[in-house]
Structure 1
């Protein structure tokens, strides 16, 4: 009986830990979004979350920044061409 209580207690602690990690991740993303707004990066929360996830999975941040800037440049060029 003692083992079950310890087992359920551990599961409860894991859920709490997981919840606090999610809250911490959301808070971190909110801070990153605020910084993005201040720097006028033009990225929304979802885009930032994807970029952070890519970096966490090993993508080189500098290379990723270059790709994002290139994509923004291409999009602006496309908009100018198709505006006429």
Structure 2
């Protein structure tokens, strides 16, 4: 019986830990989104979440920023060409 109680305590602690981790991740994303808006980066919440996930999975942040900047440049060029 003691094992069940301990087992359920561990499961509930894991759920609480999981919830607090989710809350922390949400709060961190909100802060990063605010910073992005202040710096006028032009990235929305979903784009920022993808970039953060990529960095968390080992992508080099500097290389990623270069790719994002290059993609923005290409998009602006495309828009200019197709406006004419």
Would you call these one fold, judging by a TM-score over 0.5?
yes
Within 5 A, what are the aligned runs for 1:1-84? Answer: 1-84=1-84
Q: How far apart are residue 62 of structure 1 and its match?
A: 0.5
Which consecutive segments of 4 or more residues in structure 1 shift more than 3 A?
none
Instruction: Return the TM-score normalized by structure 1.
Output: 0.98
Consecutive unaligned residues of structure 2, counting only runs of 5 or more, are none
Q: How far apart are residue 19 of structure 1 and its match?
A: 0.2
Cα-Cα RMSD:
0.4
Q: How far apart are residue 47 of structure 1 and its match?
A: 0.3
Instruction: Return the TM-score normalized by structure 2.
Output: 0.98
Aligned mates of 2:28, 2:69 — CA distance in 1: 23
Aligned mates of 1:44, 1:25 — CA distance in 2: 16
Q: How far apart are residue 25 of structure 1 and its match?
A: 0.3
